[in-house]
Structure 1
Amino acid sequence: MSATRRIRFASRRLSAFRPAAVALLFALSGFRLEAEVFRFQYSEGDSYRINSLVQEKVYVNRAISHAAEITNRITVRVSDVRENEGRVSAFHDCVFQTSERTTNKSFSWGREYQSGFRRDELGVYDIDDSHFMPVVRNVPTFPDGDVQPGETWKGTGEEAHDLRDRFGIETPFRAPFAVTYTYVGPTELEGKKLHLIRAEYSIFFDTPAELRGKERTDGDYPVLTMGYSRQQLYWDNEQGYLPYYNEDFSIQLKLASGTVYEFRGTAEATVTEIKAMNRKQIVQEMNDEISKMGLSNVSAEDTPEGIMLSIENIQFEADSARLMAQEKEKILRIAALLERYPDKELLISGHTALAGTAAARQKLSEERADAVARFLVENGVRSEYNVYTRGFGAEKPLVPNTSEDNRARNRRVEITILEK
């Protein structure tokens, strides 16, 4: 199963109160218990980012296989807002990127998915089988009328998994479920008035015959999907969106061979509005600052992913990923530029010159990117969950590796302030 299990559209423990007790609690606390009409609201040109963190353990036949932390980074642009038969919907153009780590290293830049779909004001998706993301769909959905604190309603949703690599299933593997929602009542989170909604669902899904063993050569395939999800949704009814959510889950996948995989853990997510940068102006200002600071072999440029700061001829101890002292000082001075954009995530890319084997170059480039990322995190420039790394080996040289000067230029690390 894909490690991207818990990507959805949007952190604390589930309430144990029953609806009637919840209503009494809010009444005693001074909140007015009024009925609410919940609707998604869309504006043409809206742009936002969703960051989620999944902490899960993976079991095989009830024995622990490994633990992992997974970050999901989703950028969304809203367009084509329109009304049809009295219901508003909008098109969502999205890029999903998933990073995972199972050690103490940084989050490696992972697989990217493009996705596009419509979603209406009640939360219902219209998405075709060419898109594998998001995984959890139609959560939340809202009733046509209003709801009082303590009231419940029902909905339907589905989990759609990418099982191409493991099982050769070329379209999203969809497991439907029924959801029970409870409007707990108004609440306050980080000084903001929100509405707490509880969502719970269980999955018990027999794989359809037409998907069993499709295109597999080893005869193994998923026959049964089981599990549950328990969620707390913090809804902003003034803006019509979900700024926070958290969840605990357990999903099991039983194969025809009898092997059972289980994914058990927690997830949480936040939504952040994307404020466009004036890249041309910022690049010019950064290059001016770099010149004033006297930083050699450093330059800023605009790229499709964001504003990139390239550090050429970066110095590490011989054949290692240990930064030299002078490079640490240089990176700290560059950090002053990065700290001007604290809401932007960073992507650190490592490159090597053409020396040694391709495998060794790739490994070294990844380790050097990780060294720079960890140095930035240790010095408080970003949280470890907002820095990603990747290595290219010698696959993307700036200049031919025909001289020592050229090879020095190609030994570089790039720090990109992401706007993708």
Structure 2
Amino acid sequence: MTRLRLLFSFVIFLPLLASTPVPTGKTTFQWKWKENQVLELNEYHDVFFRVGTKTVEREDKNRVVMKPKKCSSDSCLVNAFFDTYIRYGKTSGPFWKDKEFLSDFTLFRNGRYEVPNEFIMPNLRSFPSFPDTPISVSDVWKLPAEESFDFNAERIRVKVLPEYTFQGIFPWSEGNYKGNCEKITYTYPIFYTKPEGEKMVPNVPYKIFGFASGTVFFNASRGVPEFKEVKLSYTFIYPNGTVQEANFHIKGIYFLRNQVNAKDKEAIREDILGDLIVGYTGDPNGSKLGDPNKLPSNGKEPNNENLGRITDTGEIPAPEKNTDPEKLPITVRTSDDGIVFSLDSILFDFNDSKLKPDAETAVAKIAEILKKYPDREIRVSGHTDNVGKKEYNQKLSEDRAKSVLHALVDNHQMDEKHISFKGYADDVPIVPNDTETNRHKNRRVEITLVLD
């Protein structure tokens, strides 16, 4: 069965434009943007497939992060990355991190997209698009858009013509989030037939038809989308006579925030490090372990008495024999994505994925820190050394990642919709697997607090 993934991405990458008088009772819609900001979209999809009597249900989660690269008066070049996640069945449980996509595309002031052929995403394009003139409540307009279907052997791009209606200002709410702004609804049919004379391709439909209906809450004064809900229904007909039905119910929440640079990440890492280090009483001036800019008044490095659990290099300091500080096998570092907590493999018995009782202390402390960032994505990844069969290591790495994820969700009430897992076996070593010491370092679980 073909697996389809659909992603809406509504972005706001345009510089502030000079204001012009707007007639009373009318609203001007356009995208606005400040170059130090990022738009993040978190989507949740209920997905249903049917082929004959066989059905598959799953839930997808998509995280889209979009940044401007260069803007002019009428458009911006957008750099975006798309993370996709899956869990099967209409049930709770962890999301499995599936794929990553990168894209550079142009967004025009009225919401029209131009996506080069080499990029798959965004695959639903120019939703919503706005008239150039102000509109009133109940006004209706049509502007062209496009859906791009990416099959294994061929990509199909289908032109559509949505009909939009401005409904006025309404409240919206989803989970813990709510707002009150301009509401726009739209509908459109979709129909595609492979042009006559073109070769039929196995596992690629030669006919697609369906229907879409959507609602977008767009804050016109800020030029920012806040929430959207979309229902999509497709029928795919394949050359061998197979008929596949696919239905998507999509909800998406937008977060507008400032970009996080390397300096910001390092400051966050230092704050987190300070939260992890407890029981440190050796410095009367209160300097944090690992902070090179803060030394005791005598100008000397603090001794080992009552040192905390870890240093900024991840090494556990040796305490004086009359102290008994709690020690946790955790290192903290920055990465391209954000802040990474790396948990040593001693959290598990050899060839086992069940957390040891002592590991709960480490996970509990990390959970306490992560709860300070409730809207951020959390990724749990499992890693092994290169000893043993690849298939076994793959499953072991996934099971260990899931053990940590379940501890965060079940024991510390973290929102599972913001947490995913993936096993990497020995594909991402941090050091060469050439000594037992190095192999030990590579056997780990990492928790990433995603900041970008």
- Specify the TM-score bucket, using the shorter chain as the normaliser: 0.7 to 0.9
Q: Aligned-pair distance for 1:407?
A: 4.0
Match of 1:188 in 2: 171
Q: Does 1:336 align with 2:362?
A: no
The residue that corresponds to 1:373 in the other structure is 405
Look up the match of 2:304.
Answer: none
State the match for 1:133 in structure 2. Answer: 121
Report the counterpart of residue 190 of structure 2 in structure 1: 203
Instruction: Name the counterpart of 1:386.
Output: 418
Structure 2 counterpart of 1:236, from 199, 202, 219:
219
Q: Which among 363, 366, 379 is matched to residue 347 of structure 1?
A: 379
Name the aligned partner's letter for residue 8 of structure 1: S
Q: Which residue of 1 aligns with 2:441?
A: 409
Q: Deviations over 1:19-40 (max 9, x none)?
A: xxxxxxxxxxxxxx92222222
CA distance in 2, matches of 1:279, 1:376: 23
Residue identity matched to 2:160 = F
Does structure 2 retain, via aligned residues, the 8 Å contact 1:36–1:147? yes
Return the offset for 1:402: 5.9
Shift of 1:249: 1.6
Go from structure 1 to structure 2 and tell me whether the alpha carbon gap of 1:208 and 1:115 turns closer, same or farther (over 3 Å shift): farther
Aligned-pair CA distance for 1:133: 0.7
- What's the CA shift string for 1:119-168, capped at 9, x where partnerless? 111111122211111111111111222222222111221111221x2xx1
**How many angstroms does 1:189 deviate by?**
3.0
Displacement, 1:419? 2.3
Cα-to-partner distance string for 1:193-213 (whole Å, 9 max, x where unaligned) = 311111101101112357643
| Higher normalized helix content (fraction of residues) | 1
Q: Deviations over 1:206-228 (max 9, x none)?
A: 12357643xx5xx4531111111
Looking at structure 2, the residues matched to 76 and 340 of structure 1 have their Cα atoms a distance apart, in angstroms, of: 24
Distance in 1 (alpha carbons) for counterparts of 2:328 and 2:390: 29
Rounded to whole Å, the distance in 2 between the matches of 1:401 and 1:118 is 44
Change (3 A) 1:417 1:243: same
Report what 1:151 is aligned to. 139
SS of the equivalent of 1:334 reads helix
Query: Is 1:286 paired with 2:272?
Result: yes
The CA deviation at 1:345 is 1.0
Q: 1:24 matched to which residue of 2?
A: none
Residue of structure 1 in register with 2:94 after alignment: 106
- CA distance, structure 1, for counterparts of residue 68 and residue 417 of structure 2: 26
Give the AA of the match of 1:271: Y
- Structure 2 residue aligned with 1:74: 64
Q: Would the alpha carbon gap of residues 296 and 198 (structure 1) be closer, same or farther in structure 2, given more than 3 Å must change?
A: same
Letter in 1 for 2:270: Q
When the two chains are superposed, the root-mean-square deviation of aligned CA atoms in Å is 2.3
Residue identity opposite 2:379 in structure 1: L
- Which region of structure 1 is more displaced relative to structure 2, 292-301 or 396-405? 396-405
Paired AA for residue 131 in structure 1: F
Query: How many pairs does the alignment contain?
Result: 384
Partners of 2:172 and 2:179 within 8 A in 1: yes
Per the alignment, residue 18 of structure 1 pairs with none
Partner Cα distance (1:398, 1:220) in 2:
40
Q: TM-score, normalised by structure 2?
A: 0.79
Q: Quote how far apart the aligned CAs of 1:107 are.
A: 1.4
- Once the two structures are superposed, residues 374-418 of structure 1 have per-residue CA deviations (whole angstroms, 9 ceiling, x without a partner) of 221224563212112111112333445566554443321111111
Query: Which residue number corresponds to residue 30 of structure 1?
Result: none
**Cα gap change, 1:396 to 1:134, in 2 (>3 Å):** closer
Match of residue 319 from structure 2 = none
Higher relative contact order (CA 8 A, sep 6+): 1
Corresponding residue of 2:32: 41
Unaligned stretches of 5+ in structure 2?
A: 12-23, 279-307, 310-326
Which residue in the other structure is 1:16 paired with? none
Question: The residue matched to 2:161 in structure 1 has which SS?
Answer: strand
1:89 maps to 75
1:121–1:336 distance in 2 versus 1, CA, 3 Å:
same
Aligned to 1:263: 246
Percent same amino acid at aligned positions?
A: 24
Instruction: Identify which of 157, 162, 166 aligns with 1:174.
Output: 157
Query: Where does the alignment leave 5 or more consecutive residues of structure 1 unmatched?
Result: 11-32
**Residue pair 1:157, 1:178 contacting (<8 A) in 2 also:** yes
CA contact (8 A) 2:394 2:425 kept: yes
> Counterpart of 2:322?
none
Contact 2:93 2:416 in 1 (8 A): no
Determine the structure 2 residue equivalent to 1:8. Answer: 9
Structure 2 CA distance for aligned equivalents of residues 8 and 259 of structure 1: 31
Stretch deviating more after TM superposition (373-382 or 142-151): 373-382
Deviations 1:70-124 (A, max 9, x none): 01111100232212xxxx2111110011111115552122211111111111111
